Structure 1
Amino acid sequence: MMQASAHQLVYRLWKALEDENFSSTAVQYHMQLLLEAAQVGNVEFLVILIRSYPDLIWQVDNGYGTLFHVAIKHRQEHVFNLIYEIGVLKGNLACVCTKKGNNMLHLAGELPSLDRLNIVSGAALQMQRELLWFQEIEKIVPKSYVNMKNTKGKTPRDIFVKTHEELQKNGEKWMKGTSNSCMLVAALIATVVFPAAFTVPGGNNQETDIPIFLESNWFTVFFISDAVTMLFSSSSILVFLSILTSRYTEKDFLISLPRRLALGLATLLISIIGMLIAFTAACFLVLKSKTSVPIRIIVGAPAVPISLFVILHYGLWLDIFRSAFCSKRFLFRSQNRLFKQAS
């Protein structure tokens, strides 16, 4: 309700300003306010103003450029996405340069502030996000601007490589550390479940050498979950091993490494769940004659570590899977807000 009230307040104040001999010169006096709104990502504020006065899109500040230049510099994707709603005219905005000779691609090559960089977890995912920004702006600016030099004689690629060198190294270090830790867990799981397939609960019949609980449904659950755990833990080890042996080029950070990490974590989670299901099935087989409350609690205990694993790693999982499979769709897309009729 406070957000809706704030929007109504901005709308009415802007209308009152228009009634007081509003002209293009008035816009220039409020340019700093608009730039600050773009810097912090207050897209709702900008939408209200641009709907009332569309010429705000074309206003240029000598030091900062347009609103979209500020959005790129501070990685405010919600503000930048407004550029997709003005059609082919966005090419004119892409030709604007700041007083230092920086075009949009130069700004995309610079490293943003830490608060904008840390909106995703892990240096590797941050590097991927920066690459996505640079590639997207590269599609918008004229081709001659890709290798254009600013007043310091730097091209956008020169700036990107220089400013992101440390981030790329940290991304490689973070990816290897995460892979090593997860691969260790997967190896421990594989070590546990492999002998469990041959030392089944209840043992074997001494005369026939057939498992005693072979006909039990819980024995089937135990054996299948044990086999699934072995399969997925082994797969997880191989996936994380492929991450450790990667070349760690820019292209690897863009698609390959995030998807490998997502696949490795998914197979690791499945192997953990399978191991706990196998434990539960073994408890039912051995203690099926026991119906006391403590036994039931022990049998249901595996739900606790599964829940903890999901809850404690929810944020990291969300960042990894979104970066691996739908990061570009989440970052750059038209939201049809600018010229949509206000409710």
Structure 2
Amino acid sequence: MTGIKRIQEMKSNHACAMEILECLCKEISTTDLSESQVKEVEKLLFSAAENGTKEILTGILDAYPDLIHASDPEDRKLIMTAIVSRQEKIFSLLLGKKYAKLAFQFGTDKDRNNMLHLAGLPPPPQQLAKISGAALQMQRELQWYKEVESVMTTNYAYNVNSNGDTPRQLFTKNHKELKNEGEQWMKDTATSSTVVGALIITIMFTAAFTVPGGNIQETGLPLFRRSKTFLIFIISDAISLFSSSTSVLMFLGILTSRYAEDDFLKSLPTKLIIGLSTLFLSIVTMMIAFCATLIIMLHGRLSVIIPVVLLASVPICLFARLQFPLLVEIFMSTYFGIFRMNKRSLPMKM
């Protein structure tokens, strides 16, 4: 009940906040604000952009559209604040059709950093904490850089700031440590998974030549070759062997990668997705082959077969519980990203 009450309180607080916002926006739109009042509204606006509070930002901009030209003490526009704070919803909103023409009127901050420079600055720690693993964190940073780059003209990529750094140089400088951590994370994951995959290859290869029930001495053919359960064993064994081999090859590809910055964007995550997926498949089919062997050897003894089959599902469930969320996160981050797949309709490049 405590959780339900907490949700109710949150909904009530949100409703009150929206009412206050509505009153504030109405007051802004119908009143001539003094310079000090405008400054206070600007602070609220930049705070909303920094924290990703979409409702406040849209409400204030709808009531007072000219505030989209506002600058903070660092001479940064709203869209720049969204980039520095890594607020993808605010960034997408400001580049949408509604605000695009206004948002494109931008410049540089007091350190002569343009938007692409700001995408190369270190991300807020609280934003990185939401992402699993240093490699995915590096991927997220590259996605931000590429997204900002995609809406800017090429010449901005060569502009230098007050320290003489281009956007890419600034990105490399500020993400060197994160890149090294991502490389180590990838190598550790690949190394441990390679060991598991190699063990499965050994087991499945051996099992293919020591079939359950043995062979007929005269012909050398498997004794239970006509059994449907034996067919399940052979197919599962083959799939497990092939998938574990594929998994090991993918992880070896990760270990021998050059680990350039752009490799973290798609190349390395794709190899990791294939490696983890095929490793999971090999474990599942290995358990199926094991259960099929038991059914052949203990034909009719359900009191023994059923508990063992249930126990065989434990490592499958355990692997899925530990690795599947990571696999889904890598897949979504790599092939869908933090920005919508459908490209925004932009009036022009900046």
Normalising by structure 1, report the TM-score: 0.89
CA RMSD of aligned residues (A): 2.4
In the alignment, which residue of structure 2 is the partner of 1:340? Answer: none
CA distance in 2, matches of 1:331, 1:177: 31
CA distance in 2, matches of 1:60, 1:38: 12
- Relative to structure 1, is the Cα distance of residues 110 and 157 closer, same or farther in structure 2, using a 3 angstrom cutoff? same
- Is 1:84 the counterpart of 2:98 in the alignment? no
1:5 corresponds, among 5, 10, 15, to 15
CA distance in 2, matches of 1:197, 1:326: 40
In the alignment, which residue of structure 2 is the partner of 1:167? Answer: 178
Secondary structure of the equivalent of 1:85? Answer: coil
Secondary structure of the equivalent of 2:96? Answer: helix
- Count of paired positions: 333
**Cα offsets for 1:166-218 (capped at 9, x unmatched):** 11111111111111111111000001110101111111233443222211111
1:1-343 pair list within 5 angstroms = 1-2=11-12, 5-6=15-16, 8-18=18-28, 21-23=31-33, 25=35, 26-63=37-74, 65-86=76-97, 89=101, 92-93=104-105, 95-292=106-303, 294-327=304-337, 329-330=339-340
Alpha-carbon offset, residue 48 of structure 1:
2.5
Q: Which segment is superposed worse, 129-138 or 294-303? A: 294-303
Q: Which segment is superposed worse, 5-14 or 166-175? A: 5-14
- Relative to structure 1, is the Cα distance of residues 34 and 277 closer, same or farther in structure 2, using a 3 angstrom cutoff? same
- Relative to structure 1, is the Cα distance of residues 158 and 315 closer, same or farther in structure 2, using a 3 angstrom cutoff? same
Task: Specify every segment of 5 or more residues in structure 1 that has no aligned partner in the other structure, as ranges.
Answer: 336-343
**Cα offsets for 1:236-271 (capped at 9, x unmatched):** 111111111111112212221111111111111111
CA contact (8 A) 1:68 1:83 kept: yes
CA distance in 1, matches of 2:286, 2:318: 16
CA contact (8 A) 2:132 2:326 kept: yes
Q: Which segment is superposed worse, 34-43 or 259-268? A: 34-43
**Cα offsets for 1:277-327 (capped at 9, x unmatched):** 1111111111122122x4311122222221221122233112211233222
- Relative to structure 1, is the Cα distance of residues 173 and 274 closer, same or farther in structure 2, using a 3 angstrom cutoff? same
CA distance in 2, matches of 1:187, 1:116: 37
**Percent identity between the two aligned chains:** 41
Alpha-carbon offset, residue 121 of structure 1:
1.5
Q: Which segment is superposed worse, 50-59 or 130-139? A: 50-59
- Relative to structure 1, is the Cα distance of residues 3 and 248 closer, same or farther in structure 2, using a 3 angstrom cutoff? farther
Task: Specify every segment of 5 or more residues in structure 2 that has no aligned partner in the other structure, as ranges.
Answer: 1-10, 346-350
- Relative to structure 1, is the Cα distance of residues 331 and 126 closer, same or farther in structure 2, using a 3 angstrom cutoff? farther
Q: Which segment is superposed worse, 309-318 or 217-226? A: 309-318
- Relative to structure 1, is the Cα distance of residues 167 and 152 closer, same or farther in structure 2, using a 3 angstrom cutoff? same
Alpha-carbon offset, residue 223 of structure 1:
0.3
Alpha-carbon offset, residue 2 of structure 1:
3.8
Secondary structure of the equivalent of 1:201? Answer: coil
- Relative to structure 1, is the Cα distance of residues 209 and 141 closer, same or farther in structure 2, using a 3 angstrom cutoff? closer
CA distance in 2, matches of 1:328, 1:37: 19
Normalising by structure 2, report the TM-score: 0.87
CA contact (8 A) 1:82 1:334 kept: no
Alpha-carbon offset, residue 77 of structure 1:
0.6
CA distance in 2, matches of 1:62, 1:143: 28
- Relative to structure 1, is the Cα distance of residues 7 and 315 closer, same or farther in structure 2, using a 3 angstrom cutoff? farther
In the alignment, which residue of structure 1 is the partner of 2:3? Answer: none
CA contact (8 A) 2:29 2:63 kept: no
- Relative to structure 1, is the Cα distance of residues 207 and 145 closer, same or farther in structure 2, using a 3 angstrom cutoff? closer
Secondary structure of the equivalent of 1:301? Answer: helix
- Relative to structure 1, is the Cα distance of residues 6 and 276 closer, same or farther in structure 2, using a 3 angstrom cutoff? farther
